[in-house]
Structure 1
Amino acid sequence: MSRIVMNQLTHPQRVRLLYKTILRLHRGLPAELRALGDNYVRDEFRRHLTCNPMEAQLFMTEWARYASTITQQLGIRGKPKGELGEQIDPDAVDMLKDDQVVQLYELMLAAKGLGDDTSTVNDIRGK
């Protein structure tokens, strides 16, 4: 979409467009990743409905970057061209709030298919 058209959209329209784009991109993911990703995206977008403008800008920037990364990893045909995802920058993790670290940890457990009460340090480390 051209930059001129994007600038003419209201903030809620841009959010909705990004949300729908991400869900569309998730169609190219394996079924279990798609379900996990779709649920996570829905939860995150709902959670940020009432955030302040500075948080909203950061939220939109990061999710647009995610959409761009997924687009590159899935390619034109929407099929994974290799490994999906990327490593999290340790400096970025250090900047997260406590509740965000917990949320990230829970996402990691869900992605690895671990139950809350059955995971151990060795499970998390992949041993």
Structure 2
Amino acid sequence: MEKESVDSIYYHYDNNTNYGLKILIQLQTTYLLFDSSTFKYIDEIELDNQINFEWIKINYERLNEETYIDFIKEDELVSYFIKFSNNDIFYIFQRVDNLEKWEQDFEIVCVDDQKYSETKAYMNESWIEEIIPQ
């Protein structure tokens, strides 16, 4: 698939499950959906099936018409890394919440963030595999 710039990013938490995080990345002509464990490209028709969620737009100020997805990596269904062309990393991870239940969360780690070097090093470990969305 040819690289398309990222227009916007949305998320949704399903509170009825531990791994209920969904991420929707709107590209120029299609969408990339993360459904808690896999990435897949969907079109507007398939997006209609996801509409019943309350999608919350992520305020990502460094996003512009020149921001593309360089690659996506996965650490055995535990962590995911979406590397953008501006070198920022969309980091999806698991953690234990206050009720001692597992949940997924995310953060965008920008180049000038303190934890950027640590996140980048983790993303580039030899066991972390690059994945191709369906």
**TM-score (normalizing by structure 1):** 0.28
Structure with greater helix share of residues: 1
Structure number with higher strand proportion = 2
TM-score, structure 2 normalization? 0.27
